[in-house]
């Protein structure tokens, strides 16, 4: 691949996560390098979403360490992750259903806005200038994702594929360093998948955004990933370049085997 991967920015070491008796993740180590597209694959219930939730502080693993840009993170809350430049989309769309597309995407700018609520109450001077400045940035993203015509639509009225796109827009609005995408193409038709692939590659290319991607479509994964990690029953059973993973006997037996 032409893209140049850089230093390790996220480093998970010996992570174990349990929910009561359920072991969602067992002794998992894995890293993400700057600028790469890092895919996580595995059957349903393998622990893929849990991995993303550990990375951005929604879940707190019982064991293991997380290093972010070389620094050990103590217990991390989601808003800390956001402040570190981690944004994400969810497997089950998590848009703000009572708001328009535009407002949903504007929420993505929250951490970059400085005015306080008293200034908002006046909506004059600094507050208005700030709102307009961020609107400009949001409009760039709207244009990039080709959703101009639905800006003022309440998100609840949109079809599934567009909702996924709006969720990506909201994540991009934060101008993240690391983007966690949980099955962004699930339930899409071929055309929508192609669009989504193009957007992901463009984001990675233009902004150098590091991307951690969970995806079931093997064609897509093998095509766009720099490195792939394979999970099964909460354990890591493979990790490496797409070609290495594809030909790994363990992986074939446990996972790909069924499909081939």
Partner 1 sequence: MLYREAGQFKSSYAEDGRIFPIRQDRVGFTLLMLVFGVAVPLLANEYWLKAILTPVLIFSLAAIGLNILTGYAGQLSLGSAAFMAVGAFAAYNFILRVDGMPFLLALALAGLAAALVGVLFGLPSLRIKGFYLAVATLAAQFFIVWVLVKFPWFSNHSSSGVVTAQEVSILGYAFVSPEAKYVLTFLVVAVLALAAKNLVRSATGRAWMAVRDMDVAAQVIGFRLMRTKLLAFAVSSFYCGVAGALYAYTYIGTVEPEGFNLDLSFKILFMIIIGGVGSILGAFLGAAFIVLLPILLDNLVPALFGDALGAGFASNLQLIIFGGLIIFFLIVEPHGLARLWQIAKEKLRLWPFPH
> Least distance in Å: CB of 5 to partner 1?
25
Q: Which of 46, 127, 171, 221 is the binder for ligand ADP (CB under 6 A)?
A: 46
Which secondary-structure segment (H or E) carries 149?
none
> Least distance in Å: CB of 60 to ligand ADP?
11
Backbone angles phi, psi at 208, to 5 degrees: 65, 20
Give the β-pairing of 22-33 and 37-41.
unpaired
Q: Which of 9, 10, 24, 230 is the binder for ligand ADP (CB under 6 A)?
A: 24
> In b/e form, how buried is each residue of 174-201, taking b as 16+ CB within 10 angstroms?
bbbbbbbbbbbbbebeeebbebbbebbe
> Least distance in Å: CB of 161 to Mg ion?
19
Which residue is listed with tokens 């359920």?
A: 22
- Token output for 71: 């620094």
The piece of 6-14, 39-47, 136-144, 157-165 that touches ligand ADP (CB under 6 A) is 39-47
Q: Which residues bind partner 1 (CB under 8 A)?
A: 56, 58, 77-79, 81-83, 87-88, 90, 94-99, 103, 106-111, 113, 115, 117, 120-123, 127-128, 131-132, 135-136, 139, 170, 174
Judged by beta carbon, residue 136 or residue 190, the one nearer partner 1 is 136
57 binds ligand ADP (CB under 6 A): no
Count CA atoms closer than 13 A to 112's CA, side-chain side: 18
């Amino acid at each position: 691949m032409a893209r140049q991967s850089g230093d390790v920015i996220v480093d998970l070491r010996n992570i174990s996560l349990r929910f009561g008796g359920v072991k969602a993740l067992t002794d998992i180590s894995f890293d993400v390098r700057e600028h790469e597209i890092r895919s996580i694959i595995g059957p349903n219930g393998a622990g893929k979403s849990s991995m993303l939730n550990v990375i951005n502080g929604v879940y707190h693993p019982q064991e293991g360490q997380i290093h972010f840009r070389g620094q050990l993170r103590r217990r991390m809350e989601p808003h800390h992750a956001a402040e570190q430049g981690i944004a994400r989309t969810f497997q089950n769309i998590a848009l703000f259903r009572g708001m328009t597309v535009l407002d949903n995407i504007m929420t993505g700018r929250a951490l970059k806005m400085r005015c306080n609520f008293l200034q908002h109450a006046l909506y004059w001077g600094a507050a208005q200038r700030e709102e307009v400045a961020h609107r400009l940035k949001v409009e760039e993203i709207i244009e990039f994702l080709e959703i101009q015509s639905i800006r003022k639509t309440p998100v609840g009225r949109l079809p599934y594929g567009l909702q996924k796109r709006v969720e990506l827009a909201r994540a991009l609005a934060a101008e993240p360093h690391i983007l966690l995408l949980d099955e962004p193409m699930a339930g899409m038709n071929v055309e929508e998948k192609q669009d989504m692939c193009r957007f992901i590659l463009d984001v990675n290319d233009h902004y150098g955004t590091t991307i951690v991607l969970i995806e079931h479509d093997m064609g897509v994964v093998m095509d766009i990933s720099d490195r792939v990690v394979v999970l099964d029953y909460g354990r890591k059973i493979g990790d490496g370049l797409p070609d290495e993973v594809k030909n790994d006997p363990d992986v074939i037996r446990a996972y790909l085997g069924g499909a081939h």
